[in-house]
Chain A
Amino acid sequence: DAGVIQSPRHEVTEMGQEVTLRCKPISGHNSLFWYRQTMMRGLELLIYFNNNVPIDDSGMPEDRFSAKMPNASFSTLKIQPSEPRDSAVYFCASSLYGGRTEAFFGQGTRLTVV
């Protein structure tokens, strides 16, 4: 397997624009996680899906952020409208039986909002 695949790797956008980040988890994994990393706040959990259902979205900062998992092989994280403070590296991770087995992380998407 190619691992967790995220796209794009880098995204530069203007304030107010919509941004969509994409994630393809490892085949067969039933848990998917979105994280955000900044120097100030470290690695923060945004949302956790299990079997395509959101289990914990308490980390989603505000209504501008939304995440979907329409099927077991694809997830999106959307920011609309984007703001400069959303600039960060966004990681997607997947695991089999979240919490009991190892999680595999993608390479991340570096988002810059200007």
Chain B
Amino acid sequence: DAKTTQPNSMESNEEEPVHLPCNHSTISGTDYIHWYRQLPSQGPEYVIHGLTSNVNNRMASLAIAEDRKSSTLILHRATLRDAAVYYCILNQAGTALIFGKGTTLSVSS
């Protein structure tokens, strides 16, 4: 499986933007970039995914580097409820999500 590298932890202030980086230098052409998050005492929750182009949805934006070797999850205005572990996952069609350690995001008021 292709690997991703994320910082162990990041901190943010409420109502400020948050940029969560992910490196995936060994990505293949058929790998989708998925982001999930896990709030305390809950199951993982889908955030966003993309292949080559930047993606936006109601939760976040995903910026993908032109060479696809890195990506950034952008939370436009962090809230206390965004405090969670964020996972960046490379995934191919027909395979299961493999979770790494993720980035623990702390949000302060």
Q: Complex Cα distance A99/B34, Å?
A: 9
The CA of A43 and the CA of B46, in the complex, are separated in Å by 15
How many whole Å from A88's CB to the nearest CB in chain B?
13
- Which residues of A sit under 8 angstroms from B98, Cβ to Cβ? 45
Q: B43 is contacted by which of A42, A99, A102, A108 (Cβ under 8 Å)?
A: A108
A56 contacts B96, CB within 8 Å? Answer: yes
- Binding site of A, secondary structure by majority: helix, strand, loop or mixed? strand
Interchain CA distance A76-B49 in the complex, whole Å: 29
Q: Beyond A42-B100, A42-B101, is A98–B43 a contact (Cβ under 8 Å)?
A: no
Interface residues on chain A, number (Cβ under 8 Å)? 25
Residues from chain A with Cβ under 8 Å of B100 in the complex: 42
CB closest residue in chain B, given A43: B99
Query: Which chain A residues (7-66) contact chain B, with CB distance < 8 Å?
Result: 31, 33, 35, 42-45, 48, 50, 55-56
Residue pair B43, A106 in contact (C-beta under 8 Å): yes
Q: Specify which of A33, A99, A102, A104 is in contact with B94 (CB 8 Å cutoff).
A: A99
Contacts of B93 in A (CB 8 A): 97-100
Q: Which residues of B contact A108 (CB under 8 A)?
A: 42-43
